[in-house]
Amino acid sequence: MSNSKDLIPNGARPVMLTPFNTDRSIDWAGVDALVDYYATAVVAGIFTVCLSSEIYQMSPEERVELATRVAKRAAGRVPVIASAVAGSAPSEQADAVKAIADTGVTAVVLLPCLIADEGETNAVWRGRVEQVLAQTGTIPRAFTNARAPISAVLPLTIWAGPPAPAACCSTRTPATIST
């Protein structure tokens, strides 16, 4: 089994902006040019289908198509990670993870702010995460925080023992792990 350093080596991993045409369709030539630029610059990885990629402006099909295009264009020259974006139901999250994993990316990123709804407890969040992880098997996964639509502040105790009494999701803007 490989560890995270094998999948995504240390170094710069830029978030990939998505170029669009004036009609708001994805500019595929621009996507290809960006991937080639990053690969030539010898980055440690590319993070596509992320908040900077305008994920909330894309359909689920466009997100999968973008991840597929970036992974194919990178062609092993640089690792590619991409976000799975879905509703808070574990089955929706798991389906999104599987769809992105099937594109050929190196790893799939989950967004904590989409796993539990605002005001739900850490126990709800943790239960949903455990269900998603169980349903997605050995797919390499990671978490990153996003400020939209809500920000999840994840206490370290969420994995260390009983759930903390505070809610895990709020409209607060900090995107840090609290201690």
158-169 as b/e, with b when 16 or more CB fall inside 10 Å? beeeebbeebbb
Q: Provide, rounded to the nearest whole percent, the portion of the chain with pLDDT above 90.
A: 45
Beta bridge pairs of residue 142? 109
Domain boundaries defined on the chain: 4-170
pLDDT band at 119 (very low <50, low <70, confident <90, very high): confident
Asked if the model's pLDDT at residue 37 lies above 50, the reply is: yes
Each residue's pLDDT tens digit, 62-81: 999 999 999 999 999 999 99
CB atoms within 10 A of CB 53: 25
- What superfamily in CATH does domain 4-170 come from? Aldolase class I (3.20.20.70)
CA–CA separation, 57 and 72 (whole Å): 23
In this prediction the pTM is: 0.77
Mean pLDDT to the nearest integer, 81-87: 87
CB-neighbour burial class of residue 121 (10 A; exposed 0-12, middle 13-18, buried 19+): middle
CB within 8 A of 46, min separation 6: which ones? 13, 14, 16, 35, 38, 70, 74, 78, 79, 80, 81
Residue in the block written with tokens 């990053």:
38
